[in-house]
Amino acid sequence: MDAPPGTTYCTQCLQHKPHRCFSSTQACKTSRFRRCKACVTRYGSTTTPVSAAPVSVPVKAPPATPHLQCAQCGHRKPSGSFSKGQRSKGRDRKCRVCTKANVRAIASATLECSLCHVPKTRDSYTKTQRSRGGGRVCVECRREAAAAKEAERQRELGRRSFLCCICETDKPYGDFDRAAFDKGRLWCVQCVTAVRPPLCRVRDVEEAIPLEAYVRVGVAQEEDDLVDPAGVDTAMNMWDNICLIHEIDTQWGSMPGGGAYSCSNYYYGPGEFDYY
């Protein structure tokens, strides 16, 4: 198509326009862009002429949201109104609103205690007691019952007498050390504190002597056992002998696993019970 002088044909809007309406380029024979500046600004880099029929792309309709019926309120609601676990259920599904309402109702519900007969919230019961249909007891009543049982036990023990295993004297319950008595050790307070050489528990000895030394000399078997100064000295001597034998057997660290003796011991690392 022959363009009038001083004009260039635009392939986008199909019009003859002055040269100033086109951008300069070396890619075209006419040294001007085939589309005018207005068309480039409007249509961008597309080369489709205006006269060409636009291609119609069918727009897919969004999928219909399925509606589910709530078993509690009876309303049909979108599936988004139900949790994932509820959507997988059949007729027993419940919407989020009804589920939250049920949780609030359960939390605010009161249960009657079978002892004090007072309605109390669910937090006043243990999980096991809440699951019971009847005969549930609240935490407060359980504590009071335990305290009353312990008081009755103390009164029953107070009416009895026991034989002290140290002084071998029959004494009432009130004269015994409570902590030792609960562990089955019948030690009266007088023997623990004053009578005979001063006694103390293994764990309270100032010298750092492992329990293994007490066990080897037959003075004590546990850290709560009472020992006298003579027993502490015996255990200390035994521990010194064990340490000396250990140093010789390991050649003062040059043989960590032992072996200097023909009947060498076996050592498993640092600790109280290294020596067997």
Q: Is this model's pTM higher than 0.85 or not? A: no
C-alpha 222/C-alpha 204 separation (Å) is 12
Q: Would you call 23 helix, strand, or coil by DSSP?
A: strand
**Range 64-84 burial, b when 16+ CB lie within 10 A, else e:** eeeebebeeeeeebeeebbee
- The pLDDT tens digits of the residues spanning 213-232 come to 888 888 888 888 888 788 88
- The pLDDT tens digits of the residues spanning 115-157 come to 888 888 877 888 777 777 677 888 888 888 888 888 888 888 8
Q: Do the beta carbons of residue 25 and residue 31 sit within 8 Å?
A: yes
Catalogue the long-range contacts made by 226-231 (C-beta closer than 8 Å, 24 or more residues apart): 226/166, 226/187, 226/192, 226/199, 226/200, 226/201, 227/199, 227/200, 227/201, 227/202, 228/196, 228/197, 228/198, 228/199, 229/197, 229/198, 230/197
- The pLDDT tens digits of the residues spanning 29-63 come to 777 888 888 888 887 654 544 444 455 657 676 66
